Chains A and B, each alone.
Chain A
């Protein structure tokens, strides 16, 4: 037993020592460099971002990060009252890791505001931000529950907006028989399908079948066989990449010529040519100048949700600037009051946006089409 105890004490000792060194090194206790603004004269406001840089949606998370860094690089640094510092953490889109990253950002990095990505992590971060009194904006949540509480906001088109426009467009085009493909373990997909089923109740549109698949599946041939002869005039794909492309290819291979459409998902894809000529509904449209700027900076087009990241950072910066006097960093409550009353905000997702009393930034959905491999908006 003495040997056991010795090993245990040894390991615990090493681990604790390593963590202390790690935390000290990070917070500048040993090196004494960080947390000082670039110019040294202005106080520094720290903004923490937790988003997925690994896992199934890493592509979207990376694009969101790029957009936030782009917004940061565009800040008019000389004329702002504060210096700003960004800290990114990877949560892999997993709620339990999101709790860790949010706690780390708040208590180790001492962030003044938080940005999170997606409903699962957002739902975990909200109560943590609320308890700490740190304003928190989620830029990718289809679940409005994330905006519960005084300090939590969502800057993302709600699923009900997409669904409303989608139903309108179906009626306008006289499409009345549709088949859904949904992703059983994807909260965004579930929220959109539920919102659609709510919105379609009083219309003559029939949902002939809803096929739910699980992330990681690569063989959809039997699901396709089941719906192939139902006589649908549209297939609606609420799937993320690569299930989206795989289902589309397997539909075509199976000889299905029927058009496909979606709420939101096509722009997940890096193979837009698969959807040539297809119309779909997307969350609020990113302005052309943003798409150009992003493409010029990173060499690829922004994934969807990126513009939300760009705007969210600017909203926070503007709110901090309004709340503070330039001498001390404003408190969470002060920043929060400014975020809650955002009005007439001009950003990548449009002009004159404002924060609703429900803590949601109301942005409108749009109908788009893939033309020559590029998304084009066809209704304002």
Chain B
């Protein structure tokens, strides 16, 4: 049971990450591969505040969102100069740079030793120490983010984003300052990733830089590509599939030393097959 709860919590966290990235990649058409950096900043800010000042979790999460938003504003500004492949490559670069900072700013992050003993959230004297309650909290936050995303994508703001995706020049002819729209959605998306980071840090109780690498960003991208771009349900569906897939393979009974490599092969082949036969993902509404 604890195992299923654990998997469900992971799905919620990756669901939030998928939803957040989908706003940028699916709805706005910007191929960003740096979501793990924002996820990591949220996690580190929360972890550092909780362990060093004993601040309330929700306040720490809020500060995490603010700090991530400021950093993502700067990164988004630079990235907004690029297009398509170059956008992806530039965002790769920012992920590598932020990862290096997690690793090398040892006085703050303890580098490779990581930050252990991160406490669980508490609210009005109630502590979410039991995993089942933590799951409830994660699902509530996932739901909130889901409805937030739905609100954003169905609003007039969301329609401008889709227009940017389809034809940026055309929409700017109508007098829309596309830069501001792109920046706004990038920052909102990063803030949501920071929420996932706060949850992750406080759930796992230990973080180190290895959880926020480029590979992690690619994984989050795979979540939405599999689930379906520009579809909020698809983002959550992708998280369900990609978190459960390795767990199912765990029970298939490969020898454990090649099981992990088989997972990677499966994951690679799925990406290839999707691109060949269903580039919009399972339930997507937009093709890359």
Contacts and interface: CB of A to CB of B under 8 A. Distances in A.
Direct contact of A and B (CB under 8 A): yes
Interface of A: 4, 7-8, 11-12, 15, 18-19, 22-23, 25-26, 53-55, 58, 62, 88-90, 92, 94-96, 99-100, 103-104, 106-108, 119-120, 123-124, 127, 131-132, 143, 145, 148, 183-187, 189-191, 212, 214
B211 interface: yes
Contacts of B103: 184-185, 214
Nearest to A187: B112
A62 B240 contact: no
A90 B255 CA distance: 10
Contacts of B237: 8, 11-12
A4 B7 contact: no
A212 B248 CA distance: 39
Interface stretch (B54-62, B154-162, B164-172, B201-209): B201-209
A119 B208 CA distance: 11
B211 A96 contact: yes
Given A22-B248, A54-B261, A108-B3, A189 B112 contact: yes
A187 B234 CA distance: 38
B116 interface: yes
A108 B237 CA distance: 24
Given A100-B10, A120-B206, A185-B111, 8 more contacts: A12-B240, A54-B260, A55-B260, A90-B259, A99-B204, A104-B247, A184-B103, A212-B104
Contact of B208 (A12, A120, A145, A183): A120
B138 interface: no
B113 A103 contact: no
What's the dominant secondary structure at chain A's contact region?
A: helix
B135 to A, nearest CB: 12
Contacts of A100: 6-7, 10, 247
Interface string B240-256: 11001001101110001
The 9 A-B pairs at the shortest CB distance, nearest first, are namely A22-B251, A54-B260, A107-B2, A107-B3, A103-B6, A123-B206, A123-B116, A53-B257, A4-B283
Interface in B138-166: none
A89 B256 contact: yes
29 contacts: A4-B234, A4-B283, A7-B282, A19-B244, A19-B247, A19-B251, A22-B251, A23-B251, A25-B251, A55-B260, A58-B257, A95-B208, A99-B204, A100-B10, A104-B3, A104-B250, A119-B114, A120-B210, A123-B116, A127-B205, A131-B129, A131-B131, A132-B2, A143-B113, A184-B111, A185-B112, A189-B112, A190-B106, A190-B112
Nearest to A88: B256
Contacts of B241: 11, 15
Contacts of A187: 112-114, 208
Most central of B113, B204, B206, B210 by chain A CB within 10 Å:
B206
Contacts of B211: 94-96
Contacts, number: 129
B231 interface: yes
A185 B260 contact: no
Interface string B250-284: 11100011011100000000000000000000110
A184 B109 CA distance: 13
Given A95-B206, A120-B210, A185-B103, A190 B111 contact: yes
Contacts of A54: 257, 260-261
A185 B209 contact: yes
Contact of B113 (A26, A58, A62, A190): A190
Interface residues of B, number: 46
A7 B3 contact: no
A8 B260 contact: no
Contact of B233 (A8, A108, A132, A184): A8
Contacts of A191: 113
Contacts of A12: 237, 240
A107 B256 CA distance: 19
A185 B210 contact: yes
Interface in B188-214: 200, 204-211
Given A53-B256, A94-B211, A185-B210, A8 B282 contact: yes
Contacts of B93: none
Contact of B3 (A25, A62, A103, A143): A103
A88 B257 CA distance: 10
B17 to A, nearest CB: 13
A92 to B, nearest CB: 6
A11 to B, nearest CB: 6
Contacts of B2: 103, 106-107, 132
Interface string B75-117: 0000000000000000000000000000110100001111011
Given A94-B211, A127-B205, A145-B117, A107 B1 contact: yes
Contacts of B204: 95-96, 99, 124
Nearest to B245: A15
B205 A124 contact: yes
Contacts of A55: 260
A98 B129 CA distance: 19
Nearest to A124: B206
Interface string B7-32: 10010000000000000000000000
Contacts of B250: 22, 89, 104
A120 B248 contact: no
A380 to B, nearest CB: 31
Contacts of A90: 256-257, 259-260
Contact of A186 (B112, B252, B282): B112
Contacts of B106: 190
Contacts of B257: 53-54, 58, 62, 90
Contacts of B3: 103-104, 106-108
Contacts of B1: 107
A212 B234 CA distance: 43
Nearest to A184: B103
